Amino acid sequence: MAHSRQLLKAAFAEQLKDRSPTARRALADALMDESDKPSYGPADRVALLTAAIEAAKEGGSLGQCFQAAEKLSQAFLVDSLRVKLNAATGMSLLEPAAPDTSENVLAGLDLVASLEGAEDFTDAFRLLGSLRAAGSRDPDLRRLVAARTQSLESARSASERIRPSLEKLKSSPSDTAANLAVGSYYCLRLRQWDKGLPFLAKGSASKMGELAAAELSTAAEAGKAVEIADRWWEYSEAKGMPAGDAKAIKLHAASLYERGRGTVTGLGAKMAEARLKQAAQIGSEDDESGEMWTVLFRSSDPSLWNTNTDDGPDRFAVDLGHCPSDVRFLKLTAVEQNKSVIIPITSSQIGRQNQLCKPKSGETFVWQGSNEKSWGGRHLGISKGDDKAGTQSGISITGTGGSLYFGWGFGHKINVNGKQYYSWNGEEIDPTVFEISVKAGPLTFAEGKMLLK
């Protein structure tokens, strides 16, 4: 290991000389990219990724620390949670540039949620103290930290309430009530269903126990997954079901629908897909920001853009006059592929053509919101800012002025024309449902990874 570190210092000697935050972040990226090369042995990869974490810390990027920690845990028996915590508590989270501080605080809140899931409340509260200090100048960050603190306090109280049941199971492992309480805690509170289902199954006098036992008995049969998912979903809608419990159960049912995809046909398949979409919406609302996305459009037909249409889940649009006035971000999602990209934007730009959006990196992306129809197709979506005029093939998201821009959304096919085409990251895709939504609040750490940079 020591030899690997010496070799690393020699190989990256020039980059190591520049200790500016920007250079350190670039070095962290370079080290992570280098670690992916198959020619390196275990010791070299560990040295590269450990150095990447140190470079990211010196560059003030907690998100990069987490990326390197994930790479370490995927390749080696390393506790990524502990590595992330050591990084978060061993660096300054407050950066000169407000966006950098915001990214660090959001990454830290993501880690707090993971610590809560591991029931490490001591470290979670300690990290929250650092996040509270770092985010004290930003009202959005103060609100997010306060909300996470409240959630963590609730989780700690729930953990304390479950201790008697855990103690009971040490002497009476078949106790029905204790098993039901412990299983409900793991499944509904922590959403650790693999851990909680065996306890629930031993609480078989309850409906949840009955469903858990049925799921465990058919775990190896993908064909049964949809049937079990249906039963969980129906149970989530029982009269008097607490909203938080219903949400947890629906999200679990969605995981079973995913596992059983392709095993049912007809109306059963259609209902499963509808519930998966509903669960995806529930999941998107269930983040640490507390801020929901406002859906402006969801359809494979761009002609619905900027109209008042509600003809089902995949034929929906609102007049842009109803768009919130304080929008900060726009998200474009390919619904069936479950992929999203996000750009910064203002409310005044959303319905207009060729609006330039510059993320923090300074790279330009173009928002085409006029929904102009030309060359046989409508143009609505996000494109990269480099004009591809003269290109002889591809899907252009822009249709006027001789300019050709490739990206994400609806457009026309160069030198083909005649009908509507669809694109994702510059590549043609089959006709699909796109969703366009906006948000006024800050992005979560997970959403930040979707931000085009």
- Assigned token pair, 41: 């042995």
Q: pLDDT (tens digit, 9 = 90+) per residue, 174-188?
A: 999 999 999 999 999
Q: pLDDT (tens digit, 9 = 90+) per residue, 245-298?
A: 999 999 999 999 888 888 888 888 888 888 888 887 777 655 554 557 888 999
Residue whose C-alpha is closest to residue 337's, from 444, 246, 427: 427
Q: pLDDT (tens digit, 9 = 90+) per residue, 386-430?
A: 666 667 778 988 766 567 788 999 999 988 877 899 999 999 999
Taking the C-alpha atoms of residue 162 and residue 179, their distance in angstroms, rounded to an integer, is 10
Q: Is the pLDDT of residue 99 over 60?
A: yes
Question: How many of the other CB atoms lie within 10 Å of CB of 117?
Answer: 15
Taking the C-alpha atoms of residue 293 and residue 274, their distance in angstroms, rounded to an integer, is 19
Q: Are 329 and 342 in contact (CB under 8 A)?
A: yes
CA atoms within 13 A on the CB side of 222: 7
pLDDT of residue 401: 59
Taking the C-alpha atoms of residue 199 and residue 189, their distance in angstroms, rounded to an integer, is 14
Query: Mean pLDDT throughout 20-46?
Result: 88
> With bands split at pLDDT 50, 70 and 90, how would you rate the model's confidence at 231?
very high
pLDDT of residue 38: 86
Taking the C-alpha atoms of residue 419 and residue 263, their distance in angstroms, rounded to an integer, is 34
pLDDT of residue 193: 94
Q: Is the pLDDT of residue 357 over 90?
A: no
Instruction: With both helix axes pointing from N to C terminus, report the angle between 266-285 and 222-236 in degrees, rounded to the nearest 10.
Output: 60
Helix (H) or strand (E) holding 39: none
Helix (H) or strand (E) holding 184: helix 176-184
Taking the C-alpha atoms of residue 445 and residue 239, their distance in angstroms, rounded to an integer, is 35
pLDDT of residue 127: 96
Residue whose C-alpha is closest to residue 368's, from 384, 379, 359: 379
Of residues 444 and 82, more confidence is placed in 82
What is the C-alpha R_g of the chain? Answer: 25
Pinpoint the alpha helices (H) of 286-368.
none
Instruction: With both helix axes pointing from N to C terminus, report the angle between 80-88 and 121-134 in degrees, rounded to the nearest 10.
Output: 40
